[in-house]
């Protein structure tokens, strides 16, 4: 409804009220058949999801850090392996051995060098296994933390805003009288 003020010429002012000719710019979104939106109570998040998020985060960070450390150690062991291997190949070629190998060593002269090569190969394999294990632990940690976050937000329930009354009816009788007792908590 719009109200206008008009001057009647004598210095007095009057007010005219008349309904608007145009419909409202923003009509209500709820058609008459839809029930009104009822506000819901406060969200209550599952408390057990928090330790899962924290534990998963710790596993992820620790797993990836240790995986990186053992990956660097593996790289160093691999450098040692390649260095010893190249020294053996160069020495065997200088001795006229056409197909350099340590399996088996071509002579007793190469026993020590081939044992060092085998030790370095074992170190590379062991460090790679440990690094991969920690990477897997890190991935499991990420999955656990993500599961905790999802559980925390998707598992939230609406807190009850109304009290629940649970009635208990207990009949009683005595000579000449009787009745019932209504009790409960809310």
pLDDT digits (tens, 9 = 90+) for 31-78: 556 666 655 668 888 888 999 999 999 999 999 999 999 999 999 999
Q: Is pLDDT above 90 for 165?
A: no
The predicted pLDDT at position 1 comes to 47
C-alpha 77/C-alpha 121 separation (Å) is 8
SS (H, E, C) the chain: CEEEEEECCCCCEEEEEECCCCCCCCCCCCCCCCCCCCCCCCEECCCCHHHHHHHHHHHHHHHHHHHHHHHHHHHHHHHHHHHHHHHHHHHHHHCCCCCCCCCCCCCHHHHHHHHHHHHHHHHHHHHHHHHHHHHHHHHHHHHHHHHHHHHHHHCCEECCCCCCCEEEEEEEEECCEEEEEEEEEC
Average pLDDT, the chain: 81
Q: Averaged over 76-83, what is the pLDDT?
A: 94
Pick 184 or 88 by higher pLDDT: 88
- The pLDDT confidence band at residue 4, using thresholds 50, 70 and 90, is very low
pLDDT, position 20? 53
Burial 27-46 (b: 16+ CB within 10 A, else e): eeeeeeeeeeeeeeeeeeee
pLDDT exceeds cutoff 60 at 84: yes
Global pTM reads: 0.59
Which has more confidence, 176 or 73?
73
Residue 71 corresponds to which tokens in the numbers above? 């990956």
pLDDT digits (tens, 9 = 90+) for 85-115: 999 999 999 988 888 888 888 888 999 999 9
């Amino acid at each position: 409804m719009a109200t206008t003020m008009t001057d009647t010429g004598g210095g007095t002012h009057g007010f005219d009220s008349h309904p608007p000719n145009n419909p409202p710019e923003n009509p209500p979104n709820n058609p008459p058949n839809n029930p009104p939106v009822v506000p819901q109570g406060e969200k209550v998040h599952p408390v057990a999801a928090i330790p899962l998020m924290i534990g998963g985060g710790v596993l992820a960070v620790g797993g990836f850090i240790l995986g990186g450390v053992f990956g660097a150690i593996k790289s160093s062991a691999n450098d040692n392996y390649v260095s010893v291997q190249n020294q053996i190949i160069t020495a065997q070629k200088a001795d006229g051995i056409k197909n350099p190998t340590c399996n088996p060593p071509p002579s007793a002269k190469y026993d020590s060098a081939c044992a060092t090569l085998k030790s370095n190969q074992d170190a590379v394999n062991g460090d790679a296994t440990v690094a991969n294990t920690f990477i897997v632990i890190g991935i499991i940690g990420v999955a656990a933390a993500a599961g905790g976050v999802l559980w925390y937000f998707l598992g939230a329930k609406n807190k009850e805003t109304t009290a629940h009354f649970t009635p208990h009816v207990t009949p009683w009788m005595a000579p000449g009288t009787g009745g019932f007792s209504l009790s409960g908590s809310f």
